[in-house]
Amino acid sequence: MTNKATVLITGASTGIGAIYADRFARRGHDLVLVARNRARLEEVAARLREETGVAIDILQADLTISDDLAAVETRLRDDHSIGVLVNNAGGNLPGSFVTQTTDDITKLVALNTTAVVRLASAVAPRFAEAGEGGIINISSVVGLAPEFAMSVYGATKAFVTFLSQGLSVELGPKGVYVQAVLPAATRTEIWEHSGVDVNTLTGVMEVGDLVDAALVGFDRRETVTIPVLPDAGQWEAYQAARVAILPNTRQSEPAERYLTQA
């Protein structure tokens, strides 16, 4: 019913992913919805088909399982109707680093980083060749703040933000738009999975508000969108401070302050 690009959304059965599905469907985009829970995907798809009339395919996949991830990669490579990838699937772990098991950490890193980069890698060459396309990567403000003591989760989200910025540098000149979205506390099921009662927290954004703000950034073609940040100048100052460091990395000798003992 539409010539608009199809949008593939991971983690689309609930939370942020389900709202992205709703919003893109209401913009007239056909959808490919990816998640582990097929029943929930069917519920989302049935409602949006009825309410919007767009075509919706379902791809059940656990992105920590190699064969499932490969199936999504194949769809991204081969389906030329897909013009936007929303890398939303992600998770967190309860407890602190010393209480989280190595196996659980490995699985979290696979979901939050490996899946993100592999899906982007699957679709980016086709987008670059076409000279158009968009990749939305859902990161987090936690990736900017080790002080939050969410070491592994924060590290994975720092990876997603950096990856998005790097891809923007590489792919932007080829016509491909890449956006990192950095939510703060948002009312999703991730809190329950993390062992936290979200109702005990303050300053929690509703999912619809988060996605609507993120899509304003998408329409403006922002590289990094932080929906809770009231003063864009703070992010610009943060970026300027980072960039100011770069010329000092091109030195053949240690900095003078390291040449003598304290």
User: pLDDT tens across 130-173, in order?
Assistant: 999 999 999 999 999 999 989 999 999 999 999 999 999 999 99
- Strand, coil or helix: 32: strand
Bridge partner residues of 175 (DSSP): none
User: pLDDT tens across 12-69, in order?
Assistant: 999 999 999 999 999 999 999 999 999 999 999 999 999 999 999 999 999 999 999 9
CATH number at residue 50: 3.40.50.720
Asked if residue 206 is part of any domain, the answer here is yes
Asked if residue 63 is part of any domain, the answer here is yes
> Annotated active-site positions, please?
153
> b/e map of 106-118 (b: 16 or more CB within 10 Å)?
eebbbbbbbbbeb
List the domain range (segments joined by +) for residue 208. 6-230
Asked if residue 169 is part of any domain, the answer here is yes
Residue 123 pLDDT > 90: yes
User: pLDDT tens across 61-100, in order?
Assistant: 999 999 999 999 999 999 999 999 999 999 999 899 999 9
Asked if residue 235 is part of any domain, the answer here is no
Farthest-apart Cα atoms in the chain, separation: 72
Banded pLDDT at 200 (limits 50, 70, 90): confident
Cβ atoms 57, 100 nearer than 8 A: no
Residues 6+ apart with CB under 8 A from 159: 112, 113, 116, 143
Supply the pLDDT for residue 43.
97
Cβ atoms 25, 50 nearer than 8 A: no
Asked if residue 244 is part of any domain, the answer here is no
pTM: 0.94
Looking only at the bridges linking them, the beta strands covering 82-87 and 56-60 are unpaired
What total number of domains does the chain contain?
Answer: 1
Asked if residue 237 is part of any domain, the answer here is no
